[in-house]
């Protein structure tokens, strides 16, 4: 089995079994995941997915974040995450004015 096929299987199992995770334990903390920002985007994404137990549920500080993406959306997951980060940044910037 090649790396891509193994990763696809991991993602499918992660999505199908998200309800099995204890939301207080066994979750990856996003600030503990280190990705080399010098790598191309595709490699950074691939490395992220390889490092996390379940990319659909993570902890950010003490907050549990569950992610789900629609198969019918015209927005891909990267665009969705980018938009959320940009909006968060804008709201923090505007609150300082």
Read off the pLDDT of residues 49-88 as tens digits, 9 standing for 90 and up. Answer: 888 888 888 888 888 888 776 667 677 666 766 776 677 6
In this structure, the answer to whether residues 11 and 54 fall within a common structural domain is yes
Dig out the tokens for 34 from the structure: 């280190």
pTM more than 0.95: no
In this structure, the answer to whether residues 10 and 48 fall within a common structural domain is yes
Nearest to 14 by CA among 71, 66, 55: 55
pLDDT grade for 1, boundaries at 50, 70 and 90 = very low
Range of the domain at 80: 72-97
Pair 91, 66: CB distance under 8 Å: no
In this structure, the answer to whether residues 41 and 7 fall within a common structural domain is yes
In this structure, the answer to whether residues 62 and 76 fall within a common structural domain is no
* Whether pLDDT at 27 is above 50: yes
Counting the structural domains of the chain, the total is: 2
């Amino acid at each position: 089995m090649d790396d891509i096929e193994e990763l696809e299987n991991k993602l499918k199992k992660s999505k199908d079994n998200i309800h099995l995770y204890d939301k207080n334990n066994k979750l990856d903390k996003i600030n503990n995941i280190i990705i080399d920002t010098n790598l191309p985007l595709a490699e950074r994404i691939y490395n992220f997915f390889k490092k996390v137990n379940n990319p659909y549920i993570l902890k950010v500080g003490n907050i549990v974040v569950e992610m789900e993406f629609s198969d019918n959306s015209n927005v891909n997951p990267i665009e969705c995450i980018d938009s959320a980060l940009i909006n968060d940044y804008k709201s923090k910037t505007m609150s300082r004015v």
